[in-house]
Amino acid sequence: MSRNRIDKIPATEITPKSVHDDRRDFIRKLGVGLIGGIAASSGLFQDASATSSDRQKITSYRKSSYGHEETTTPYEDITSYNNFYEFGTSKSDPAASASRLITMPWTISIEGQVRKPKILGFDDLLRLAPLEERIYRMRCVEGWSMVIPWIGLPLADLIKWAEPTGNAKFVEFVSLDNPAMMPGQNLHVLDWPYTEGLRMDEAMHPLTILAVGLYGEVLPKQNGAPVRLVVPWKYGFKGIKSIVKIRFTEHMPVSSWMKANPREYGFYSNVNPSVDHPRWSQATERRIGDGLFAKRRKTMLFNGYAEQVGQMYSGMDMRKYF
């Protein structure tokens, strides 16, 4: 059993052996099989036949103190109202089309200015640190927001394991590029594959996580399965989904939205109510789940995480470095 799965599991959550064996036999007959490392070492697995509607429990994770004063957005809203352009530009497209995405087996290539370049399997990733629930406010550039109970591990744990060299100043992330499974990539809305980046101190910050689940369950495909980036003080498009590559670089990476429209999308993309998007104000937001006629909320600097992250941008012109 891996280091991040030593917590005791209540007897009521343990699957009966007969049920477990029947499921394994059923999947084996389909020719799919379980990913042994994930099933055995983590208790979290997702097979290649899973659809976007499958809901599988994560049996062992610890709850944190992050965000427990917040009212979380309903699961149905979180999983049906998404930006995931690889599946289409409409908010409903990901839930409708993501079932074709095969998420297991899955690997993440660690590259660039590191002492441990390696291709990690998904189960290898889960061994790096205990999984933890983090309830974060999430703010989209279009003016809507959610409160999501993510389950993931600190990105800092992966970075420490990879041992970046002194030349590593930034971290670049690359998403899956597979038009057959991701029909939105046939639209050429962006220069695929989707890429994103963080400065090293942002990537190492304790709030930054690699999410593998939400609401106590395996991350749905339309939400970025099997692993995505979550940086709660930045606008939502920084949360790259279905990550297949993490590259450590000396120079600032050019993300997909920067490349597509640098006037509207900067590298930092910190939530800042005083810096308007060129086509709309960012001063207020609509919380999904509040109802269409609910009063809009005032947007908070750094999405309400200014006390934790504001020092990283001390002395910077946040209008220039937007």
| Cα angle 65-201-216, degrees, rounded to a multiple of 5 | 30
Q: Is the pLDDT reported for residue 300 higher than 90? A: yes
* pLDDT tens digit sequence for 156-167: 999 999 999 999
- The pLDDT of residue 20: 40
Q: Is the pLDDT reported for residue 3 higher than 70? A: no
- The pLDDT of residue 13: 35
User: Count of residues for the chain?
Assistant: 322
Domain assignment present for residue 16? The answer is: no
Domain assignment present for residue 173? The answer is: yes
Q: Please, are residues 123 and 41 in contact by the beta-carbon 8 Å criterion?
A: yes
Angstrom distance (rounded) from CA 319 to CA 322: 5
Determine how β-strand 107-112 pairs with β-strand 243-249.
parallel
Domain assignment present for residue 121? The answer is: yes
Least confident of 29-33, 54-58, 114-118, 170-174: 29-33
Q: Is the pLDDT reported for residue 287 higher than 60? A: yes
Average pLDDT of the chain to the nearest whole number: 87
CA 44, chain centre distance (Å): 16
Domain assignment present for residue 25? The answer is: no
| Cα angle 90-92-96, degrees, rounded to a multiple of 5 | 120
- The pLDDT of residue 22: 42
Q: Please, are residues 284 and 299 in contact by the beta-carbon 8 Å criterion?
A: yes
Domain assignment present for residue 22? The answer is: no
- The pLDDT of residue 91: 96
Can you give the residue range of the structural domain that contains 234? 61-310
CATH of the domain at 285: 3.90.420.10
- The pLDDT of residue 297: 95
Both ends of the chain: CA-CA distance in Å?
44
pTM for the full predicted model? 0.85
Alpha helices of 4-50 — where are they, by DSSP H? 17-29, 36-41
* pLDDT tens digit sequence for 214-226: 999 999 999 999 9
Which residues touch 5 (CB under 8 Å, ≥6 apart)?
41, 42, 43, 60
Closest CA to 192 of 256, 143, 130: 256
Domain assignment present for residue 213? The answer is: yes
Domain assignment present for residue 35? The answer is: no
Split into its structural domains, the chain has a count of 1
Domain assignment present for residue 220? The answer is: yes
* pLDDT tens digit sequence for 188-209: 899 999 999 999 999 999 999 9
